[in-house]
Amino acid sequence: MNDLVRMSSEVTPAAGQTSSNGRTGMRLQRCEVLNWGTFHGRVWGLDLNCDNALLTGDIGSGKSTLVDAITTLLVPAQKIAYNKAAGAEARERDLRSYVLGHFKSERGDAGFSAKPVGLRDHKTYSVILGRFRNEAFNQDVTLAQVFWFREAQGQPTRFYVVADVRLSIAEHFQDFGGDVGALKRRLRSIPSVEIHDSFPPYGAAFRRRFGIQSEQALDLFLQTVSMKAVGNLTDFVRQHMLEAFEVEPRVKALIAHFDDLHRAHEDVLKAKAQIERLAPLVEDCDQHERLSGEIAKLREGRDALGPYFAGLKAELLRTRLRLLDAELERIAARTEGLVARLNDQCAQRDEVKRAISENGGDRIEGLRVDIDRKAASRDERTKRADRYAELVKAAGLPGAKDADSFVSNRRTLDSEVASIHGHEADVQIALTEKEIDFRALKAQHTELSQEVDSLRRRRSNIPGRVLAIRDELCGALGLAEADLPFVGELIGVRGEERVWEGAAERVLHSFALSLLVPNDAYAAVADWVDQTHIGDRLVYFRVRERRPSTTHLHSLSLVRKLAIKSDSAFYGWLESDSPGASTTPAALPSISFAAKTKP
């Protein structure tokens, strides 16, 4: 039986590593075993040198034993079926048999079941070690497992080793006195060596170094070790290379997702329709906001006039104060000069007295006093000259190096002051004109606001003064507005005849402002009108119940272009007895249609 052993995995270089011309990927360089199966008593090794290897030999020579050792290094114990490479049945071999070195079975004298015979007892230990290398990045990784027995009849205990350096059984796993704890301490003292007590952290550690992202790759490796034949390649790929998943939940999730998308689509269409319906309202709101902003801007401008002109006045006052301060400084400087001159004269007087009294002595002291006095005068004049230079520079004028330039600067400043006073007068005139314009705009705004408020309170285009008369009449007689309607509230231009709306309004204006009074309320209304000074003209008609007439009208009659409110109690009167019901358009009174009901 021949077994092909090949171990390699492609990895990417770690940070800071550089690639040489060697082969990339972790490849098995050497495999070592100690007291593993029939490899007993010393260290046995297999050198692959990171190449593919063909392991051949007779049956029972230990080929599958080495393959199981490599499998044990890479696969969890619960997944391994030992001696599978040799085609053995399940449980023919296990980890205990490899550690104890079972090589045959014997029957006892009683002839009962056979018992395995091992090369070692439970007091020994076993080691399997694999050294892997990435030639391209000069990287070595060593994997090892150490087995020993805590109890004679139980399964062996083990710990796992992952190292980033080269380890060997002869150098690092022997001569430790039989104490496994001492062996662990020795290994932990080696740099870049990790020791784990269980397979999951050990497997994660070596998979990270090998660049193996999924545990399924090791499951595939376990299934393909010493594979004899593949019956169905599709079944093999489905079972060992693809992760199983349930289709029905995904189909249900897809259907649910489609339902959600469908509902979302319907919601979007509904929202679009709502937005389209709200578009006119949004436009009105935008227009209202724009007009409100303009009004607010105008109000802010009006409110800012007071502070603005107060600021101008404050600036003028500050300028006046600076001028007064400058004048005060000049007076103070002149006073200081006079005081200094007085002091000089007093000193001269004292000097003369002392000179007279001393007949010319202490001349040096007098010169020192004179020097101090002259120095003080020099400093004062220098300070004043520097201050003047700063002022003329700030004013954009040339420096005064002589009396002529000083006088020229003085005249320039006087002309600038006169110009500023003229500009101030212009600004005052412009302010007055703006105030006049503002008052006119305010009056116009007040008039428009009153008209807008009046239109908002009306239900039709009937003038407010006429509606006020009817309200007073209804309030006095205890009647409702619907009992005394205006003609303009009951008739209107037909929808298909909108082109005649302007002409109808002009023709029926006075008639539309006429009040219709029921027969039973006519006497009360007439008495109230006679006894009340309404201050305006009020036309009202007495309405009696009559059947509609069948007066023949011309096809182009204006009457045919009008519509009468059908549910009104005055429909019959308007249809037959109204002043223009039986007349042609030319005979209608010159009144307009002024009561177009608002929607």
Residue 213 and residue 330 in one domain: no
- Averaged pLDDT for residues 303-317: 91
Q: Evaluate if residue 25 carries a pLDDT over 50.
A: yes
- Averaged pLDDT for residues 102-123: 76
**Predicted local confidence at residue 240, as pLDDT:** 58
Residue 354 and residue 497 in one domain: no
Instruction: State the total domains in the chain.
Output: 3
- Averaged pLDDT for residues 99-104: 84
Q: Evaluate if residue 266 carries a pLDDT over 80.
A: yes
The gap between the terminal CA atoms of the chain, to the nearest Å, is: 101
Q: Evaluate if residue 112 carries a pLDDT over 70.
A: no
Q: Is residue 63 a part of any domain in this protein?
A: yes
Residue 229 and residue 300 in one domain: no
Q: Evaluate if residue 4 carries a pLDDT over 50.
A: no
pTM here is 0.40
Residue 229 and residue 277 in one domain: no
* Domain interval for residue 538: 464-587
Residue 361 and residue 479 in one domain: no
Where are any strands of DSSP class E within 189-267?
A: 193-196
- Averaged pLDDT for residues 507-529: 84
**Predicted local confidence at residue 102, as pLDDT:** 84
- Averaged pLDDT for residues 69-91: 73
* 26-36 vs 193-196, strand pairing mode: unpaired
Rank 120-134, 472-486, 570-584 by mean pLDDT and report only the highest. Answer: 120-134
What does the pLDDT look like over 123-138, one tens digit per residue?
889 999 999 999 888 8
**Predicted local confidence at residue 14, as pLDDT:** 41
Q: Is residue 433 a part of any domain in this protein?
A: no
What does the pLDDT look like over 410-463, one tens digit per residue?
788 788 888 888 888 889 998 998 999 998 998 888 877 876 776 666 556 677
What does the pLDDT look like over 200-243, one tens digit per residue?
999 899 999 988 887 777 777 777 765 555 566 676 666 656 56
Share of the chain above pLDDT 70, in %: 81
**Predicted local confidence at residue 155, as pLDDT:** 86
**Predicted local confidence at residue 142, as pLDDT:** 94
| Listed residues 346, 375, 394: the one ending a domain | 394
Distance CA 127, CA 158 (A): 9
Q: Is residue 420 a part of any domain in this protein?
A: no
Residue 32 and residue 181 in one domain: yes
3-state helix, strand, coil in the chain (%, to 5): 55, 15, 30
> DSSP for 310-334?
HHHHHHHHHHHHHHHHHHHHHHHHH
**Predicted local confidence at residue 11, as pLDDT:** 36
Distance CA 175, CA 233 (A): 50
